[in-house]
Structure 1
Amino acid sequence: MTTEVSADGRTDASTEKVLYEKRGPIAWITLNRPEVKNAVDIEAHERLCEIWADFRDDEDLRVAVITGAGDAFTSGADLRTHAPEWQTVGPMVGRERLDDGVSGITRGPLASIKKPIVAAINGWCVGHGVELAMACDLRIASDRAQFGTFEVRRGMHPADGGIVRLVNSCGVGFAMELLLTGNPVSAERAYTANMINAVVPHDELMDEVQKVVDNILRCDQAAVESAKETILEIIGRPLHDQLRVEAMWGYALCASNPAVMGRSQEFFDRVDKGRTGSTPTELA
């Protein structure tokens, strides 16, 4: 692996446990411990927290993509560093870590980043890897990917959003299967369970992810971020409250977003990006 200068000023990217590159409005994040299937140790966790905070605060960035080096997305939390800590901190560890989920975006302040985050799942995604992937907004998987929550084999179960997000996205039946058996499922099975958004041939994964990102970028940034916030806010609410939240955010956006009229006129003139049908236009 070659040494390169990363976009945030780090100069020895070959030794970084997490690579971070900014290409225009896109943040590219790569878990970079292929020798241990990109397991997230404490140092990698702390670096991810720094990266997510920078992505959130950098006004030039609109979308993030996270993937893994080598043949895995991530094998999850590195138990060689995390398990000893969990065993020695005492019974209050759960309360003390409510705002400090592993990998940054699974729980706490960084879980509410408004900008879209896409997971490019290039291989094994297990344990905490499922929690990290499910904390992303869109998940595109290679046909070589495998998913599993193996914590039950080690005397644990997910505590960083894995259960919550699996139930919310996939339903109780699929969550029960993964969590009670500790068995892996294929990318195709994960797709049928709504765990991921698409399965593509392995060699086409990053091209497909780029297409997804391009579709996000053609849309108005304020509208995309408001839509994400609205979706996350209505989860778990009664129907009446869901409708009120949607109306509140939706009409507020329409009334306050200066881009509405210009983008509407592009639609009327049939020149907006990525049109299909009888008046197609290029996406890029």
Structure 2
Amino acid sequence: MTKVIYEKRNSIAYITLNRPEVHNAIDQETDELLFEAWTEFRQDADARVAILTGSGDKTFCAGADLKSHVDPWLTAGPELGRSLLEKGFAGRITRGLHRTPKPIIAALNGWVIGGGIELALACDIRVASDRANFGFFHMRRGMHFADGGIVRLVNTCGVGIAMELELMGEPIDAQRAKEIHLVNRVVPHNDLMTTAEDIAAKILRNPQIAVESAKETILEVVGRPLEDQLRLECLYGYSTMGNPEIVDRKQDFIDKRDEDRVTTKTVTGRPGTD
């Protein structure tokens, strides 16, 4: 049984952690299989969006498999961090392949623990089952995030929330995760994948060049001074204007042929004009 399942349907790549017997924990082999999956997704021109989830109904990912990771770390010495700078975690998606321009949606189907939180944060949009919980238990074992978890937690939720979650080491449920913007949506468990696929479909209806440029712009401006942010947004945004799809979609709009035209009726439910 493969530890990572990679499938592609209708421009969506489905990546599934497949070790339910150990709560989808990531050992060395799983890490390498994830690297292969992320690389295939990045290089496949027909795969435009990825949905990442875990097998089973209990756990999205329990983080690093401590049986295969911790012992080598304990004996590595002071150069451990430097040796792992380019590797990151979960197939290098947390650091190394983190600038993949294609959108990645995390469908969080159960417990998200330790490095599993880092993996979820490395995705662009997070949808959580109402059964999901987030365990910051690594602090109780004497470790804190080292593969992007603290950085992305600060960028996503703010300093105060990052301090609370990381220093206390307490779990939170899906609703609390939504309140602090750790996840975008919380949905009934049985609606999780259909919701993720609906988000993917809405992304896919947009021109790929614009989608990928927008993602790159967002990642590029995080943490920079305002003037740098404004400059980068301008440079990235206007670089998409050579896209020939813009001409066709502009004409559809002018001729009132665009399918998603917003009308008064669309917004209020009452008849109106464009």
Normalising by structure 2, report the TM-score. 0.93
189 and 275 in structure 1: CA distance in 2 versus 1, 3 angstrom threshold: farther
* Per-residue deviation, 1:275: 4.4
Q: Secondary structure at the match of 2:94?
A: coil
Whole-Å Cα distance in 1 between the matches of residues 106 and 152 of structure 2? 15
2:135 aligns with one of 131, 148, 152: 148
1:183 aligns with one of 151, 158, 170: 170
2:10 aligns with one of 1, 24, 32: 24
Q: Secondary structure at the match of 2:5?
A: strand
Residue 117 (structure 2) aligns with: 130
Per-residue CA distance 1:144-196 (angstroms, 9 max, x = gap): 00012211111110000000000000011111111011111111111010111
Whole-Å Cα distance in 2 between the matches of residues 148 and 276 of structure 1? 42
User: Any residues of structure 2 matched to 1:66-77 within 5 Å, and which?
Assistant: 66-70=52-56, 71-77=58-64
Report how many residues are paired: 264
CA contact (8 A) 1:148 1:178 kept: no
Q: Secondary structure at the match of 1:139?
A: strand
User: Any residues of structure 2 matched to 1:181-260 within 5 Å, and which?
Assistant: 181-254=168-241, 256-260=242-246
Q: Which runs of 5+ in 1 are unaligned?
A: 1-14
Identity %: 56
Residue 36 (structure 1) aligns with: 22
Residue 108 (structure 2) aligns with: 121
Per-residue CA distance 1:240-282 (angstroms, 9 max, x = gap): 010000001111111x2111111122223333344454586xx
Over aligned residues, Cα RMSD in angstroms?
1.2
> Which one is further off, 86-95 or 158-167?
86-95
2:94 aligns with one of 102, 106, 111: 106
Q: Secondary structure at the match of 1:111?
A: coil
Q: Secondary structure at the match of 2:7?
A: strand
Residue type of the alignment partner of 1:44: T
Q: Secondary structure at the match of 2:98?
A: helix
Q: Secondary structure at the match of 2:215?
A: helix
